[in-house]
Structure 1
């Protein structure tokens, strides 16, 4: 469910294009390129504590033809269930408590040559809620929730969140690029949840 991101960093690269050529430019350019790569991959956590800007993620609503207990199990499976090989390629649980895990999420970039990594806490309130909070990733802060309501045979899933960046206007522009990709990733994950929950409900 959660969400490693791919971002272009256009504002950084535009700034880089104006750097004077020469040895100094090469050195600075290399540093900026490394910083861009660190942001995209999640290796550099840009939590500066100044110039914080926030924006909403979602909300997204998905109606699922399956009981909410089934939907909850589909969401929680990669974190609380037995890890499969396919699961381990996308999610690795680093620490596990009774109702919360610390997990790393992996997304391949650049045709598999790079991997974006985010680390998040995931808290479970069965059967109606799952909360995600970013610990390390391409922006300073992300908090998300999935709420499940239903009448027994069907479930409405509501996703909502907030993304925060530091660095005033430049950070805000970076956050806009991240948020677009982040929400695309969430939408794809919700589609997978819907398909799998409905498949399980049909075969129950």
Structure 2
């Protein structure tokens, strides 16, 4: 093989490796793209869930892993970096690529007892996410309403990436809401 062909192969391998590393960084949230150019936003949710439990119980189920001691079973999904009275800074871990990789997001979580929990993305696979869980009392318990907004940069390319992320993001939220529902209803069930 000629020296020129070797240089070309080395260059192609370098470019390929760089692109693979950039893709890996983007997917896992380690290298967020936040350039502030071509920002597009769209809504997340709404997702609504009726829970047969009092609003205070539902609030406590959501808040406890953040404000109290994080249970061992939750530590693979959540790591609280800093706790305050009504605000925490937390890492959230989500399996991606069939569980071979783990996306890490860092978010602030603000608690307004008993009716609201707000999330704001600090670092992740997209530059902007704001979300809320609003807890409304109903005659039979509590309605938890999830809504948010996601934003990405770089016009259509960012919009495409955001749609990919949003689908997985909302699926992760739906799984979390189902878990909250199950635990709140378990806590609210009459004891024999």
TM beyond 0.5: yes
Whether the 8 Å CA contact 1:41–1:114 is kept in 2: the answer is: yes
Report 1:26-175 matches (<5 A). Answer: 26-110=13-97, 112-151=99-138, 153-175=140-162
Distance 2:140 2:133 in 1: 19
Instruction: Name stretches of at least 5 consecutive residues in structure 2 with no aligned partner.
Output: 1-7
Whether the 8 Å CA contact 1:68–1:152 is kept in 2: the answer is: no
The structural deviation recorded for 1:152 is 6.5
* SS of the residue 1:43 aligns to: coil
The structural deviation recorded for 1:111 is 5.2
Distance 2:76 2:44 in 1: 26
Instruction: Name stretches of at least 5 consecutive residues in structure 1 with no aligned partner.
Output: 1-20
* SS of the residue 2:56 aligns to: helix
- Which stretch shows the higher mean deviation, 107-116 or 176-185? 107-116
The structural deviation recorded for 1:22 is 3.4
Distance 2:82 2:89 in 1: 5
Please, what TM-score do these two structures have when normalized by structure 1?
0.85
**How many equivalent residue pairs?**
184
* SS of the residue 1:89 aligns to: coil
Higher relative contact order (CA 8 A, sep 6+): 1
Distance 1:156 1:141 in 2: 26
Whether the 8 Å CA contact 1:39–1:138 is kept in 2: the answer is: yes
2:182 to 195, 199, 202: 195
Please, what TM-score do these two structures have when normalized by structure 2?
0.90
The structural deviation recorded for 1:113 is 3.8
